[in-house]
Structures are given as C-alpha cells and as structure tokens.
Structure 1
Amino acid sequence: MSLVDDTVARVHPVDGAARAAAAERLDRMTKPAGSLGRVEDLAITLAGIAGQCPPPLPVPATVAVFAGDHGVHARGVTPWPQEVTAQMVGNFLAGGAVVNAFARSLGPETCTDVVVVDVGVAAPLTGAPGLIDRRVAAGTADMTAGPAMTRAQAQAAVEAGIATADELVAAGSRCLVPGDMGIANTTAAAALICAFTGASPEAATGRGTGVDDVTLARKVEVVTEALARHAPDPADPLGVLAAVGGLEHAAIAGFVLGAAAHRVPVVLDGVSVGAAALAAVALAPDALGYCVAGHRSVEPGHTLALAHLGLTPLLDLGLRLGEGTGGLLAVPVVSAAARALQDVATFDAAGVTEKE
C-alpha cells in the first residue's frame, strides 16, 4: 500500500457525537443562543475534528509554504520572471516575507514557525538552512504541450505533503496552515478548479499577481488549451494533478490529507490552496470535515472552489498574496472558538438566570 493509500485509509469522518455535545454546550453558555454567529459553527467543527467537547486549543499552528515552479510560465501568463520563486524562498527563510511578519505578530504560543518545503523549485536550493528538501522535480512541464508531470511525480509530491504534515504534528503542531509559492501557479490553480468543479476557464481564471487585460486573456487561453488537451477526469484526482497541476498543489493536497489523518484542523489559504483542497477531498471525501476556510481571496477561482467544497470563509479582506497569509490571519479566530467552549461558563454553573 502506498503512503497516499495508507493516509486516505486513516481519514475518518469527524465525530458526530462531539459535534452534538458542542452544539448543546453552546446553547447552555452564558450568552444568548446563537449570538456568536459563525464562531459557534467553527467551535462545533473543532469539536468534531478532535472527537471531544470541549476540543483542545488548536495552537500552536505551523505554516508550511510549499514551493515549486511551472513550465507553463513559458507561455507568458505572468510578467514575473521564474527566478522569483527561488528568490522568495530565500526571503521566507530570512524571515522577510509577509507571512513571516504575520507569524511574528501572533507570537510563538499561537504560531510556532513558518517552514518552507521545496517540492519543485527550478533553481537548485541545496544547503539552504531551514529549508525542508522534498524535491520531486525541477518544476513542472508546460501543461499545454503535455502533462505537467508524470503520475509518479504527482504521487511523490502528494506524499511529500503527507510527510510534512506527519513531521509537524509529531513536533507538536495542533493546527496546520498550508501556503504556496510558485510563479505562474495561479494558472495551474485555475485549471485544477475547472477540472474539479466544471467551471469555465473564463470564470475560474483571475489576475493572480495583478496582470493586465492582455495577459489575463492569455491565461484564459492557456487554461482552455490545457483542459482541451488532457480532458482531466475529476474521478481520478492524481491524474488531474499530473495533467494540469503544480508540484506545490499536489504537496498541499497531501498536507491536507495528513492533517485529516491526524485529526488536526487545517486552515486553508487562497486560490492555490483551495485548488489543492479540491484534489485532497476528491482523494478522501472525509478530509473536508477537517478543513476551515481561513479567508476568501479576490481570485474568482477561489470563490468557485469554496462553493464546491461548501466552505464559508472566516475572513474576507481582499487578499490575493498566497504564502498562507490569509489562513494564518484566521488562526486567532479558530483558537478563540475553541477557547470559548473551554472557558465560558454555563448558565447553571455561573448561577445566571436564563430567559423565560
């Protein structure tokens, strides 16, 4: 049995009894019923994930930024040069990126670390201190000329994500936040979203780093070409990833599966992570119960992915950066939901009279 098959077999449904106990406790807490809105839904979700009420606090969290390059870059889908992927990996490792700043703002008790995982950066990164080397290939191939990767490479990348989740949970992480880095990866993300949701390339393809109208039209054309060439079958998630995905998308899908297998919440970020979550849930439908949508990206494909998954984002701040930034900003809300179930007194315990 492969690591993917073994992990999928360990993904079980969330605990319905714990969810029911959380809902009952929320109604007895010293507040009007339902007054915490979607925070109450989140608290119930966390209880179901943990299999107990109240659930443990989902901290510390760890952000894992998965990095890879894309052969479709050659089609002119972005004005950013490909070497920026490797340069940004260096920036993450030096602590100079936005996700590093956000992590520091939360403090070590809430976010222990930002780790960077090389699954497919084109430039060699050997010897970079602090880098997790799970390199599968030096980037993908151009998905309009052939498959982005072989099926074996797609599986290896998924397993790289699973191994990363296993390692972080073993080290004490109680909440996982996936992030992405890869110039041109929103083009692959759009193709994945189309493949799994049935959306059109025009609806799913966005401006990514802020491309102009001409480049956006080229992105739509490229996604259309790739889908026509491969006709990816959503019933074969590994095949979809191999045909039009990125190495980082495949690794993030594995990361989501790993979190679910360990009954640890995974707080999703933007469009690339959303596309990867579609693949993860296609591989193991019960993994959906362990996913929390951290925010809504302005990328149109992200809204399509969240709708297909049935997830409502906690935040909507107009972000479109990636890196795990939007997911990380939602971690305090996730923690507060669990804290409320732990700490808020019930009417009977506090001696507070309930309404008639």
Structure 2
Amino acid sequence: MQLLQHTIKKIQNADSRMMEKAREYIDSLSKPPGSLGKLENLAVQLAGITGELFPKIESKAIIVCAADHGVCEEDVTSNPQKVTFLQTLNFPKGLTGVCAIASITNAKIITVDVGVKEDVPLDAGVILKKIKYGTDNMAKGPAMSREEAIQSIEVGIEVATNEIRNGADVLGTGEMGIGNTTPSAAILSVLHTCHPNIVTGLGAGVGAGGITHKVEVIQHAIALNKPNRHDAIDILAKVGGLEIGAMAGIVLAAAANRKPVVIDGFISTIAALIAFELEPKVKDYIIPSHASEEPGAKIAAKLLGVEPMLHMNMRLGEGSGAALAFPILDAACSMMKNMATLEESVVLVESNK
C-alpha cells in the first residue's frame, strides 16, 4: 500500500505552459492551421507530458501482464485456460501478435506473470510476480482480497518504474488472460452504473450459454459481491483481475514519472479507468491507441474522456493496438523536429532567389 500511495502522491498534471508553447509553435509551421489534425493534438500532449517542446520517444516498451480468472469455471469462454500459460511463454519468444507488430518500431516486450494458473518456468524470460494462481471465482465470492488487489497494482508500478529507470521513453499496456473480458465488463458495469448487457461482448469467444449466460454471471457476481462504485480498489478486488490491476499500476507509474502510456483496447482501457479513479490526473498521460470491437470499449473510452486514434476492427489484446500506435507518436515528434516554420520557409525561398 505504501508504494501505491507514494506513486499517487507523485502524480502532477501535464505542463500546461509547455502545451501552450507547443500549440503556438505548431501553428507557426508551414501548413494551414490544424491541417494535421489529431497529430497536432498528440504533439501538444507529448510536450506537456515531457516538458519539452521537441519530445523524444525513442525507447519503447510494452508491458504484457498475464493472469488467469476463476470465473472461467462458469463457462463464460470457449477457450481453455491453458492458453494463458502457453501464450505467456510465447511472448518472450517473439511469437505473438503484439511481438510481430512491435518489431517494426523496435519496441521491447516485457512479460509479467501476475497470476497465471500454472507455474511459469524460471528460464522462460518472464518476470515472475505471481500473487496467486488466478483470481477466485467472482460468481461465488470476491475475485481476490483487497490486499491482493493492491499487490497487483503495485506489481505494475514496480515493473513499469524499473523499465523507465532503464530508459523507456514511452510505455504500452498489454494483457494475457483467458476470460478477462468478463471481469472487465463487470468493472465497467459498476463504474458506468449500467446493466452488464450494455457492456458485455463476445471477447475471444463465449461459452455454450452465449452472451446471455455471460451477462447473467456478471450480474450475479455484482449482486453477490456488492462492489463500492466509489472505491476502485474494492471494485478491482471483488470483480476484477490481477492483470487488470497490474496494468492500472503501469498507468500510475507512467504518470508519476511523467512518461506517456499508450493503452490498448477494452481491457487496457478498463485498467486505465481504475487508475483514473485512484488519481484523475493520470488522464493527461494516457494516449489511447485503437477502438476495440468489444461493445464496452466505446463506453469505457468515453468514461475516461479519451478518443482512440485507430479504427482497425481489432480485438486481440496483448498490447497489439499500443504497438500499432507507436509510429504515430514517432510521426508527431518528427513533425515538431523536422517541419520548417512559415517564417523559415520564407527566409529559405528568399535566400535561394
């Protein structure tokens, strides 16, 4: 709890003066005002986050948090839990979707076992931070204790802070956990105070009972555990996931260290919402990547007050959307560094006459 409290206390808003300076500079570039659209807004945000007019986003890292879910006992997914373990082993080997996409920008993939149901080998290239062997079944009681929920957040803080100390300029959030759209929809249902059927989707594949059964399980879990809408840790503990907590910690750590954090799709956005509930100033540091196909994703983004950049009909997870968005950050930085101002362009033309 001490690490969590210390991290939250460190978080300050982005540098508004630098953002104003960046906006003025962008408007002076040799282009019609606003003609580069969202790229301009992104450059302003990066300037505010870093405190630099010409920010550098060179060293990139995506932290993939892996954990299992006890609620899979309720047949909410058609995928075997064994997949969590198998995919966790594949990340360090570079064999997953996010690895393939991240390779184009030389982004580093860090894999963390927060709660995989099986023991990950010591030599697998995975950071071992297992809190427990998956959450408990939230349809029968709390997914985890409050202490375990805090632990999961602090795992994310610890790993992210270490990557920043090692030189990471930007972080991305990713996850691996069969069944994790179920707790994600449950968290969103509580935060949005809505019926689960509004925010529940197919995920990676629903069980035999379909969406109706998945919704019923979520509704029952919320009624049984009664998570407190105004206590993010209580929500995380009662109907959440260990990897969701860890990703929330990554967001908090990025904000505390004045680094941008690119969030992936639905599950990453839910984690960012947990971080936002703990400290609203984290929003200044969050860069949304893509609009997930999950029905709750749009609602979650709206609650967080962000607008995804990419519309690619993706719903893989893993941090794949974050990896795909990294080149856009590079483009925003290049715009600031390499475009001539209108005044410079005039001088150049005049000197060439």
Give the TM-score taking structure 2 as reference length.
0.96
What per-residue deviation string (whole Å, max 9, x for no partner) do you get for residues 119-165 of structure 1? 00010113133111111111100111110000010001100000011
Partner of 2:49: 49
Q: What is the aligned partner in structure 2 of residue 214 from structure 1?
A: 209
Residue identity in the other structure for 1:97 = T
Aligned to 1:252: 247
What letter corresponds to residue 269 of structure 2 in structure 1? G
> How big is the shift at 1:199?
3.0
Partner of 1:36: 36
- AA paired with 1:179? G
Quick one: which of 276, 282, 286 aligns to 2:277? Answer: 282
Separation in 1 of the partners of 2:341 and 2:229? Answer: 46
Offset at residue 213 of structure 1 (A): 8.0
Partner of 1:15: 15
Q: Which of 161, 186, 189 does residue 191 from structure 1 map onto?
A: 186
1:92, distance to aligned residue in structure 2 (A): 1.2
* 1:49-70 deviation per Cα after TM superposition (whole angstroms, max 9, x unaligned): 112212x222221111100000
Gaps of 5+ in 2: 349-353
- What is the aligned counterpart of 2:267 among 269, 272, 294? 272
State whether structure 2 residue 312 is matched by structure 1 residue 313: no
Pick closer, same or farther for the CA change 1:199–1:331 going to 2, 3 Å: farther
What letter matches 1:96 in structure 2? L
1:263 aligned onto 2:262: no
Structure 1 gap segments, 5+ residues each: none
Does residue 182 in structure 1 map to residue 181 in structure 2?
no
> Does the CA-based 8 Å contact 2:78-2:207 persist in structure 1?
no
Give the conservation status (yes or no) of the 8 Å contact 1:30–1:352. Answer: no
In structure 2, C-alpha distance between the alignment counterparts of 1:212 and 1:148, rounded to whole Å: 20
Q: 1:309 to 1:213 in 2, by over 3 A?
A: farther
Secondary structure at 1:340's aligned position in 2? Answer: helix
Give me the whole-angstrom Cα distance separating, in 1, the residues matched to 2:340 and 2:13: 29
Quickly say closer, same or farther: Cα 1:97–1:332, change in 2 above 3 A.
Answer: same
* Whole-angstrom CA distance in 1 between matches of 2:266 and 2:73: 21
Task: Provide the rounded CA distance (Å) in 2 between the counterparts of 1:312 and 1:251.
Answer: 23
Which residue matches 1:71? 70
Q: Which residue type is aligned with residue 276 of structure 1?
A: A
* Contact 1:162–1:258 (CA under 8 A) maintained in structure 2: yes
Cα deviation code 1:161-219 (max 9, x no counterpart) = 00011111011111100100001000011011112222320111010013378321111
Distance in 1 (CA, whole Å) between partners of 2:39 and 2:9 is: 30
| 2:4–2:154 Cα contact (<8 Å) kept | yes
Letter of the 1:241 partner, please give it.
Answer: L
Asked if the contact 2:75/2:207 (under 8 Å) is kept, the reply is no
SS of equivalent residue, structure 1 residue 118: strand
| Alignment counterpart, residue 238 of structure 1, candidates 225, 230, 233 | 233
Which residue does 1:94 correspond to in 2?
93
The answer to whether structure 1 residue 303 and structure 2 residue 302 are counterparts is: no
Matched, 1:125 2:152: no
Question: After superposition, where does 1:313-332 map in structure 2 within 5 Å?
Answer: 313-332=308-327
Quick one: structure 1 residues 349 and 245, their matched pair in 2 at CA, closer, same or farther if it must change by over 3 Å? same
| Equivalent runs, 1:221-232 vs 2, <5 Å | 221-232=216-227
Q: Which moved more, 1:330-339 or 1:274-283?
A: 330-339
- Over the matched positions of the two proteins, sequence identity in percent amounts to 39
Alpha-carbon separation, structure 2, partners of 1:18 and 1:233: 38
Cα distance between partner residues in 2 of 1:347 and 1:69? 55
AA at the equivalent of 1:199: C
Q: Name the amino acid aligned to 1:98.
A: G
Is contact 2:76-2:207 (8 Å) kept? no
The answer to whether the 8 A contact 1:196-1:279 is kept is no
- Number of residues of Structure 1 aligned to a counterpart in Structure 2: 348
User: 2:152 is matched with which residue?
Assistant: 157
